[in-house]
Chains A and B, each alone.
Chain A
Amino acid sequence: MVCTSCSREEFLNAKPDASMTVPATLAHYQALMDSDAAMNGAGGFMPLYPAMSEIGTDNVWFPDQRYTKNIDEHIRSVYTWDADPYSGMDVKDWNRPYLVVLHCNLVLEGLRAIEKNADNREQWELIQGMALFHRSHAFAMLASVFAPAYEKEKADQSVGIPLRMSADVGEKLVRSTLGQTYGRITDDLEQAILLLPEEPLYKTRPSKRACRALLSRIYLWMGDFERSNAYADLCLKANDRLLDYNDYPTNVNYPFPRFNEEVIFNCTMMLLSTQVRLDTNLYKSYDQDDLRRVLFFKGQSPGDGHRFYGNYEGTGYFFAGLANDELYMTRAETFARLGEEELALADLNKLLKSRWRMQDGVSTYIPYTESDPKKLLEIILQERRKQLVWRGLRWPDLKRLNLEPEHATVLSRIADGETFELQANSPRYVYPVPDPVQNLNPNLHDKP
C-alpha cells in the first residue's frame, strides 16, 4: 500500500526533514570537519580562540570613558583581574572550544564504525588526523587560559582542563592533571602528523606542518626548548616564506588577505570588544620605519588610542591561527635559549627585515647584532610580543615567562582612577571554571 516493499526499519528511519542527516558516512564526517564556522571560527558567527588570552594582558587598554561606560561588566572584571571575573555569566571562552571537541569526538566515534580499507584509507586517515588535531588545538586553547603554566616537576599536582573524550552527553567529566592535559595534546598531535598530508587543500584544514607548528608552540609553553626548536625548524625547512610588508596597502582597513603565504592554519579569535585599544607604550615601541606601526594599527581620535587591524584574517575577526612569523620567533627564542645566538639573530633579523619600510629599493632596517645572550633573549621576547600582538599568545607567554624570575612581569593598570595589579605567578593567571559549569557539574571545581 504505502511502503510494502520496504522494511519496517526503513520506514521508521526515514528522515523527518530532508535537510537533516544522521551522520554515518565518511563524507558526513569530512563535512563536519570542514565546517569552518565551527572548527575554525570562520564567518564571524562563532569565533573560536578565547578572548581572555588577550584581554588580561598588557597589550590592551581601555580608555577611561570606554571602560566606565561602554563595556560589559565581565570584560571589565577580566580586564582588572577580578577574582570572580564572570558574575555568573556563560563564558564563551570555555564553551566554544568544547564545541570543537564535541565535533571531533562525534567524528572519532563515527569513524570506528567505518572500516578502513584500501579504497577509503586516505580519506579515513585525513578525517581522523583532522579530528585529533582540532581536538588538541581546542585543548591547548583551553589550557592556555584555564590551566596554570606548565612546570614539569609539578605537572602531576597541578590541575589541567577536563579532557572530554567522547560524544556521550552523559560522560562523567573531571579535571585532569596538567601533565595529562599536555600529554594528551602532544600525543594526539604526534599521531595526527602520521595521518595528515604535508600541505592542506585549504588552510582551514590542518596538515603535518600545522601539527608541527602547534607542537612547537606547545613545547615552548612546556619549557621543552629542544623539541620546540626542532618542530619549528622542521616546519620552516619545508616552507619559510614571509610576507614583505611593503607589498601591502596602508590605506585600507584590513591590509592582509586571508590564507596568505605566511599562514599555516587559519582560526579566528573572539572579538574582545570594539572598545578595546592598544596599550600606548606598546604602540610607542614600534619604530617609525616599522611598517607594522601603520599596517597593524589605525589611530582613533586624539586620546582614544589605536585599534588593531593587521590580522591575517582579512576581516574584523582577529586571526589566531598558526603562521610562519610565530615559528620564526619561536625558533629565534629557542635558539637563543639553547646557546645558538647566531642562528637566533638570523631568524630575528630575517623576520624584522620583511616588516620594515623599503626606501628607494633599500631596506631601512638596521639588523640587530646583540651578542649578549641575556640581552638577545630580552630583545627576542620584546619582538615576539610586537609581532604576535593580538594573536592570543601574550597570556600564555606571560604565564610561562613569569616562571623565570628575570622575565617575570608585574602587570598594572589604572582604570577609572583605580590602580590594579597582577603579580607574577598570581593564581589569577588561571581563570576559574565558569559558574554555569560548576553549577551543573560540581566535579569541575577550581581546586585540584
Chain B
Amino acid sequence: MKNFYGAGHAMPEISPHVETRLIASPIKKRRHEWTSLRRKRRSKPTSAVQRGEVGIPRSVQMYLQIFLFNIRRGVSHTPISHTHSKESHTPSDNMSGRKHSAPTVLLLCFLCLFTQAPAQPRQDIGAADGRGEVRLPQLKDTTDTALQIEEVQVVSTGYQRIPKERATGSFEYVGNERLNKTISGNIIDRLELEVPGLLVDRSTDAPDRFLIRGRSSIFAEVQPLIVMDGFPYDGNIDNINPNDIESVTVLKDAAAASIWGARAGNGVIVMTTKRARSPVPSITFSSVWGLSGKPDYGTVSQISSADYIELEKFLFEKGHYATDEQYDGWNYGHPPFTPVVELLRKQRDGAITADMADAEIEKLKASDVRKDILRDLYQLGSNQRYALSVGQKSGKSNYLFSSGYDHGRSTLVGQRDARLSLRMNMDSELTDWMQITNALSYTSSLLSAGNNPGFRLGGQAQFAYGGNKTFYPYARLRHDDGSPALLYLDNNEAYVRDMQAVGLDWSYSPIDDMMRQRAESRIRDVLLNSGIRVSPLEGLHISLLYQFQDQVADRSAIYGHDSYYARSYANSFAQQDEDGQFWFPVPKSGIWDSNDGRNRVHQGRVQADWNRTWRSVHQLDVLGGWEIRNSVTTASTDRRYGYSDEFYGINPTVDYITEYILSNNAYAKYRIPSNRSISKYTDNFLSFYLNGSYGYKDRYVMSFSARKDEANLFGMQTNQKGTPLWSSGLKWTLSKEPFYRFSWLPVLAFRAAYGRSGNIARNASALAVIALSNSAYTTPLPSASLDMLPNAMLRWEKVNTLNLALEFGARGGRIGGTLEYFDKLSEDLMGTAPLDPTIGRTEFFGNVAEMRARGFDIRLNSILVDRTWTWTAMLTIGASDPIVTRYHMPASTKGSTYLTRIGNAVNPVVDRPVFGMYSFAWVGLDHETGSPIAMFEGEPSQDYNTIYSATALEDMVFHGSAQPTVYGALHNSIRYGRLDLSLAFSYKMGYFFRRSTLSYSTLFNSWGGHGEFADRWQEPGDEMQTNVPSMVYPTVGNRESIYRYAAVNVLRGDHVRLENIRVGYSVAGRRFLGARLKSLQAFALIQGIPLVWLKNAEKVDPYFKQRLRDGRQVSFGLNFTL
C-alpha cells in the first residue's frame, strides 16, 4: 500500500474545492491552532512535527487534500485505504495510532497549506497490515523527503494530471525541492542528477547536449520535446527561469509520451509553473550569491617555453621560415614571426650579435603565457540570483506574481549575463462550473562579451594570409612595467611598424582590444496563456486553451573603430590612389553585425475530459481533443560598415560589387562581404488525440492513447495518409490484492506498456522542392536549383517502445524504488540511401534506417540511518546503448571515414552505435627512428598514406560508443535537526573519447603545441616509455594522423565525480526582527570540485579535454517566506 496523490500543489484543478472546504474555518482560529501546535511540538521533541521545521509533513496535507477531494467525488476507497470499509478511513482512525485527533490533523493540514513549505511530502502515508487498518506510519521519516520512495504523486503529461499510482507509463516526477537542490539558471542542469535515463553530456565534443534514454534517431531531431504549462515551448530553454517552475515530469516511454504524437519520439519534458496556494498573502524571497574561482590550467597540456624555443632554433636552422620571409617580400600576406625567430633573423642579418640574441632568448625562456592569460584574461566570477514572489489564493481565485533577476559575471574578463523574468499567474472560478486561467510572462536575457577568447587566444584578422597563429608559450600580454603588450599573430612586426607609418594600424594587444568590441545577445520572450474550463455535467470538463509566444533574439556584434577586427578589415581593403594615398572602401569607423531572429507561436486546444466512478470500484477517465499550432520563425543577418556611435544614423555607401586587391595580399581579390540574409520557416500542425484509462479497485489500470498529427512538413500526400500514433499500458498493483501478505514489502506493482510515437525530420519532402535565387552564375536570369526529389513514400519516423517496470517499497521506506526495462525500436528513420544515378541523383533522403535501444532505468531510494539523525540515499542508473540495426546506404568501406566527426555528422554502420569510436591498430614506435607503426592488413606497417586511406572499416579497432551508455547519480543526504548536508555524485560509463595529441605540423605552422612534445621519442629505447613519435622535419603526410587516430589515444570516458556539496539550515514559524517568518532556509553549495575518479590511466577528464577546468564555485543562498 502506498501513498499516492502527493504534492497537492500539483493538482490545481482540484485544489479550489479542497480550499473551499478548508476555508470554512475562520482565520483567527487557524492561527490559534497553529500556535498551539507549535507548543505541542516543543513538548514532544522526538516527533517529526518538531523536527520538520515546516510544521507538518506535506504528506499529511496531501493525504487530506486527496481525502477531501475523493469525498467530493464520491470515492469511497481513498488512497488511505486499499480496503473498502468506510469506517476504516476516517481521519480519526487514521490518526488514532499517532495520538492525534482528527480535527487536529485537519487543522495541521490546513495550516500547512499556507506555509510555503519547502519540504517534500513523504508518500508513505499508510501501510496496510492486512487487517484493513490504515495508519500514518513513521512520520518522523519525513525529514529529507527528496530521497524517499515515491515522493511524487501527481504526474503531468501536459494534457492531464494523473495520480502516479494510476500511471501505466514511465513518468519521472521532479518536485520543487529536488529542482532547488542546485542553483543553475538552466532547468536542464537542475534535472541532470535527478532523472534516471536523462543523459546530460558535458564532454568537450559531445554530439548531443541532452537525451532521454539515448538516441532514437539518426538524422532527425534527437532532443526531447519541452512542454511548459501544457504547450510545447519552442524558445531558448535558457530563457526559462527555474524559480518559476513548480515541478517537472519527464515522460520516457510511449504510454507516457505518445499523447504528444509526432514529436514525442525522443521523450518529453513537461514543466508546470507555480500557482499560489496560500489563503493569506504570501511573500517568498530567495537569493543566491556565488563566486567562481578562476579556471585551472591543469587540464590543458602545453609545450614549455624552453622546449618551444629550442624547437624554433631547430626550425630556423632548417630554413622553415624562409617561405614566410619570401611571402612577406612578395606582399603575399605578411606572416608573423615569434620574438625568437625575429631575434634569429636579426642575428643572421648581422643586426645583432649572437651573444645578444642568446641573452634575449634566454630571458624569454622564463616567460609562461599561461600565467599572463590567467592573470589578465580571467577573473573571479560571480553570480547573483534574486527571486521574489507574492501570491494568494483567496476564495475563488488565486494569483501569483513572481519576478526574478539573475546577474552573472563570467570568469572570462568582459563577459557577463543577466536575466529578468516577470510572471503573473491568475486563476479564478467564475461560477461553480466555469474557471478561467491566465498567465503572462516576460523574460529578457542578455549575454554580453568583449573580445576575449581566453586561452584560445590567436590572430583574428580576417584576410591575413599566413597569419591567424595561436599564441606561443612564452608570449606576454603585458610588459614588465605592466603596460599592455602587442602580439604579432597575423602580421610580422616590421610590417605592422611600416604600415603604422602610412596610416594602417595593424597593432593588436589582447588586453587593449578586449573592450573595443562587444558581442551581445538579447533574448526577449513574451508568453501569454489563457484558458477557460467549463463543467456542464458531473465529471465532464470542457476546456479551451490558447497560448501565444513571441521570442525575439537579437544578436549583435559591434566592432569599434579602434577594434582590431574593424581596423584589420579596413586595412585589408585599403586601396592606394595614384598619389600613394590610401582610401578605404571599407570605412574605418567600425562594423556592426546583426543577427536577428523571431519566433512566434500560436497554439490552441479544445479538450473534453470525462471522469466517472461506478460503485467505488470502476474508474474511467477519458479525454479527447483537437489542437492547432502555427509557428513562424524569421531570421535575418546584416552587416553595416562604417558604424560608429557618433554617426548612428549614417550609413556609408559601400561598394559590394567591385573586387578589390587586398593591401596586405597582392594575390587576393575579394568583394566586400555583405553578410546579408533572410530566412523564414513555418511549422503548422493539426492534431487530434484521445486518451483513456480504466481502473478497477485500484489494483488494475489499463490505459490507451492515440493521436493523429498532420503537418505542413511533408506535403499533402503524406498528410492524407497520416499514421496514427498510439500506446497502451497496464498496471497491476499486486500489493493491493487481498491475498497479498508480504507486510515487509508494502508496495509492489508491475507496469507494462507498449506504443508508438513519432519524430519529425524537416529536411525531406513528398514533393519536388526547388530553391529560387535571383540570378544564375553567368546570367542575370532568375534561376532555381532542385533541392529535393519528390518522395511520395515519405513517412514520419516512428519509435516503438516496450516498457516493463517494477515498483516496490519496503516497510518504513528503508528501501524502495522503480526498475524499468525498455526496448525501443525506431523505424522508418530518415537517412540517405543510394539511388540509381539514372534517376537523376545518386542518393536520396528517405525512410531507410532502423535503430534499436534496449536498456534500463533504475531508481533506488533508501533510508540508511534513521535515528536522531537521518541518512538517506538515492541512486539512479540509466543504461541505453542504441544500435543501428538497418541502414540502406552501404557503409563506406574506408576506415578513415569514421575517424572524425564534425558536429553531429553521422556515418551510420549497421550493428554499431550511431556515434562509434574507431582507431588504427597501434603497434608502437620504431626502435631505430621513433616513427609510428600501425597494423595494416595484419602486418605492422609504416606506409602512412596507405594505412590512412586504405585501412578497411573492418580492420579498424572499434572501441565502442562515443556517448555514455550507463549514467546516473548518487545522492546522499544527512539531516540532523535543522541542519542538513548533502553530497551529489554523478557517473558516466561505457564510452570512449579521443584524447588530444601532439601535432608537429600544428606546432611548426600554427604555433600551438601540446606538452607531449617533451615525451617524444628521441633516441632508441625511448619507444619503451613513450608513444609520441619522433620529430621529423619536414612533416610526413599522414604520419601524424596515424598517431593521432591510433588506438593508444582512445581512452575510456568512464568517470565518477562529486558534483556538489550542500549544507543547509532551515527554520519555520519564527519571529525574526519583528516579522513572522513562515519559513527560512539558508544554504551553502560548492560546485566544480575537482574530485573525479577517472577510469583511464592517463587521467584525462573527458569534460575538460584540452580545455580549462572550470574553477570552484561557492554559493550562498537564502530563501524565506513571509
Interface residues of A (CB under 8 A from B): 1-3, 8-9, 11-23, 27-28, 30-32, 34-38, 40, 42-43, 90-91, 94-95, 98-99, 101-103, 106, 162, 164, 167, 169, 171, 173, 201-202, 204, 258-259, 266, 434, 436-437, 440-441, 444
Are B712 and A13 neighbours in the complex by a CB distance under 8 Å?
yes
- 10 of the cross-chain contacts (CB-CB < 8 Å) are A2-B603, A11-B628, A12-B711, A13-B712, A16-B713, A23-B784, A167-B790, A204-B781, A440-B835, A440-B836
B842 close to A (CB within 8 Å): yes
**Chain B proximity of A390: nearest CB distance (Å):** 20
Asked if B719 lies at the interface with its beta carbon under 8 angstroms from chain A, I say yes
Residue of A nearest to B785 (CB): A35
Contacting residues, chain A, for B770 (C-beta < 8 A): 20-23, 28, 31-32
Q: What is the 8 Å Cβ interface bit string for chain B, positions 771-801, against chain A (1 contact, 0 not)?
A: 1100011110111111111111000000000
- Are the C-beta atoms of A99 and B681 separated by less than 8 Å? no
Given A1-B628, A90-B837, A440-B836: A38 in contact with B785 (beta carbons within 8 A): yes
Select which of B681, B768, B792 is within 8 A of A22 by beta carbon.
B768
Q: Are B715 and A22 in contact (CB under 8 A)?
A: yes
Cross-chain contact B710 with A12 (CB below 8 angstroms) = yes
Question: Does B769 contact A101, Cβ atoms closer than 8 Å?
Answer: no
A19 contacts B771, C-beta separation under 8 Å = yes
Q: Closest residue to A38 on the B side, CB-wise?
A: B785
- CB atoms of A36 and B767 under 8 A apart: no
- Asked if B840 contacts A8 (CB within 8 A), the reply is no
Known A1-B546, A95-B837, A437-B838: A32·B682 in contact at CB below 8 Å: no
Chain B min CB distance to A196 (Å): 16
In the complex, whether B604 has a CB less than 8 A from a CB of chain A is yes
Within 8 Å by CB of A106, from B630, B680, B762, B768, lies B768
List residues of chain B with CB within 8 A of the CB of A102: 786, 789, 839-841
B681 proximity list for chain A (CB < 8 A): 16-18
User: A20-B769, A102-B841 in contact; A12/B785 too (CB < 8 A)?
Assistant: no
**B407 within 8 Å of A (CB atoms):** no
Q: What's the minimum C-beta distance from A320 to chain B, rounded to whole angstroms?
A: 15
Residues of A within 8 A of B478 (CB): none
Known: A19-B679, A95-B842. 18 other contacts (CB 8 A): A2-B628, A3-B628, A3-B684, A12-B719, A14-B712, A17-B682, A19-B680, A21-B772, A31-B770, A36-B778, A36-B779, A37-B777, A91-B837, A98-B837, A102-B839, A167-B768, A169-B791, A436-B842
**Most chain-B CB neighbours within 10 Å: which of A20, A42, A94, A434?**
A20
Does B357 count as interface, using CB distance less than 8 angstroms?
no
Residues of B within 8 A of A (CB): 546, 602-604, 628-630, 679-684, 686, 710-713, 715-716, 719, 762, 765, 767-772, 776-779, 781-792, 834-842, 844
User: CB distance A34 to B768 under 8 Å?
Assistant: no
CB within 8 Å for A258 and B778 given contacts A12-B710, A16-B681, A17-B679: yes
Within the complex, what minimum Cβ distance (angstroms) separates B15 from chain A?
29
Question: Contacts A21-B772, A202-B779: A2 and B785 contacting too (C-beta < 8 A)?
Answer: no
Q: How far does the alpha carbon of A23 sit from the alpha carbon of B683 in the complex, in Å?
A: 20
Assess whether A169 is in contact with B716, with CB atoms less than 8 Å apart. no
How far, in whole Å, are A167 and B686 apart by their CA atoms in the complex?
31
Please indicate which of the listed interface residues A9, A16, A31, A266 has the most CB atoms of chain B within 10 Å of its own CB. Answer: A16
Compute how far the CA of A195 lies from the CA of B842 in the bound complex, rounded to whole angstroms: 32
Whether A37 contacts B785 in the complex (CB less than 8 A), given A1-B602, A42-B778, A106-B768, comes out as yes
Contact across chains for B630 and A3 when beta carbons are under 8 A apart: yes
Taking CB atoms, residues of chain A closer than 8 Å to B837 are 90-91, 94-95, 98, 434, 436-437
| Contact across chains for B836 and A437 when beta carbons are under 8 A apart | yes
* Measured CA separation A311–B788 after assembly (Å): 33
Q: In the complex, which residues of chain B have a beta carbon less than 8 angstroms from the beta carbon of A266?
A: 778
Are A34 and B772 interface neighbours, CB within 8 A?
A: no
Q: How far is A202 from B780 in the complex, measured between Cα atoms in Å?
A: 9
B769 near A21: Cβ-Cβ < 8 Å: yes
Collect the chain B residues with CB atoms within 8 Å of residue A201's CB.
781
Least distance between B717 CB and chain A CB atoms (Å): 11
CA distance A17 to B763 in the complex (A): 10
A103 and B786 contact, CB distance less than 8 A: yes
Residue of B nearest to A268 (CB): B778
Distance in angstroms from A259 CB to nearest chain B CB is 8
Asked if A32 contacts B786 (CB within 8 A), the reply is yes
Task: Give chain A residues whose Cβ lies under 8 Å from the Cβ of B762.
Answer: 16-17
Establish whether residues A20 and B771, one from each chain, have CB atoms under 8 Å apart when the complex forms.
Answer: yes
Partner of B783, one of A16, A31, A259: A31
Nearest 4 interchain pairs by C-beta = A102-B840, A43-B777, A18-B680, A31-B784
Q: Determine the residue in chain A with the shortest Cβ distance to B833.
A: A440
A32's contact among B684, B765, B784, by CB below 8 Å, is which? B784
Contact B776 A90 (CB under 8 A): no
Name the B residues within 8 Å of A34 (CB-CB): 776, 779, 781-784
The CA-CA distance from A398 to B686 in the complex, in Å, is 63
Q: Which residues of B contact A18 (CB under 8 A)?
A: 679-682
CB proximity of B390 to chain A, nearest CB, Å:
32
Q: How far is the CB of A212 from chain B (nearest CB, A)?
A: 22
Give CA–CA (A434, B776) in the complex, Å: 31
Residues in A with CB closer than 8 Å to B782 are 27, 30-31, 34
- Please determine whether B834 and A436 come into contact, CB atoms closer than 8 angstroms: yes
Contacting residues, chain B, for A14 (C-beta < 8 A): 682, 684, 712
**Contacts A21-B771, A43-B778, A102-B841 given; does A1 touch B789 at CB 8 Å:** no
**Chain B residue contacts of A173, Cβ below 8 A:** 836, 838-839
Contact between chains at B684 and A17 (CB < 8 Å)? no
Give the shortest distance, in Å, between B843 (CB) and chain A (any CB): 10
Report yes or no: A11 in contact with B784, Cβ–Cβ below 8 A: no
B145 to nearest A CB, angstroms?
42
Residue numbers in A under 8 Å from B765 (CB-CB): 20, 22
- In angstroms, Cα B790 to Cα A13, docked, is 15
User: Which of chain B's residues has its CB closest to A164's CB?
Assistant: B838
Q: Are B784 and A164 in contact (CB under 8 A)?
A: no
- Complexed CA–CA distance, A444 and B787 (Å): 26
Note all chain A residues with C-beta closer than 8 A to B776.
Answer: 34-37, 42, 204
A201 to B778, CA, bound (A): 12
Q: Which residue of chain B lies nearest to A46 when distances are taken between CB atoms in the complex?
A: B785
Bound CA–CA A384/B713 (angstroms): 55
Kindly provide the distance from the CB of A363 to the nearest chain B CB, expressed in whole angstroms.
33
What is the distance, in angstroms, from A372's C-beta to the closest C-beta of chain B? 45
- A35–B787 Cα distance when bound, in Å, is 12
Known: A11-B684, A31-B783. A440 touches B840 (CB 8 A): no
**How far apart sit A21 and B787, CA to CA, in the bound complex (Å)?**
9
How far is B1060's CA from A363's CA once the two chains are assembled, in angstroms?
Answer: 92
Minimum CB–CB distance from B637 to chain A (whole Å) comes to 14
Residues in A neighbouring B546, C-beta threshold 8 A? 1
Q: Which of B629, B778, B786 contacts A38 (CB 8 A)?
A: B786
Please name the residue on chain A nearest to B784 by beta carbon.
A31
Point out the residues of chain B lying under 8 angstroms from A15, CB to CB: 682, 712
- Please report the C-alpha to C-alpha distance between residue A266 and residue B602 in the assembled complex, in whole angstroms: 50
Residue of chain A at shortest CB distance from B682: A14
Which A residues lie within 8 Å of B719 (CB)? 12
Contact A204 B679 (CB under 8 A): no
Instruction: Let me know if A99 and B682 touch, CB within 8 A.
Output: no
User: Which B residues are in CB contact (< 8 Å) with A106?
Assistant: 768, 786
A223 vs B869: C-alpha distance in the bound complex, in angstroms?
104
Residue of B nearest to A142 (CB): B838
Chain B CB within 10 Å, residue with most, of A37, A91, A266: A37
User: In the complex, which residues of chain B have a beta carbon less than 8 angstroms from the beta carbon of A103?
Assistant: 786, 840
- What are the residues of chain B within 8 A of A11 when measuring CB–CB? 628, 630, 684, 686, 712
**How many angstroms between the C-alpha atoms of A8 and B767 in the bound complex?**
18
When distances are taken between beta carbons in the complex, the residues of chain A under 8 Å from B787 are 20
Using CB atoms, name the residue of chain A closest to B788: A20
Most A C-beta atoms less than 10 A away, residue of B629, B776, B838, B841: B838
Asked whether A9 and B716 contact (CB < 8 A) given A2-B602, A15-B682, A19-B679, the answer is yes
B772 and A441 contacting across the interface, CB-CB below 8 Å: no
B842 CB to closest chain A CB (Å) equals 6
Closest B-chain residue to A202, C-beta based?
B779
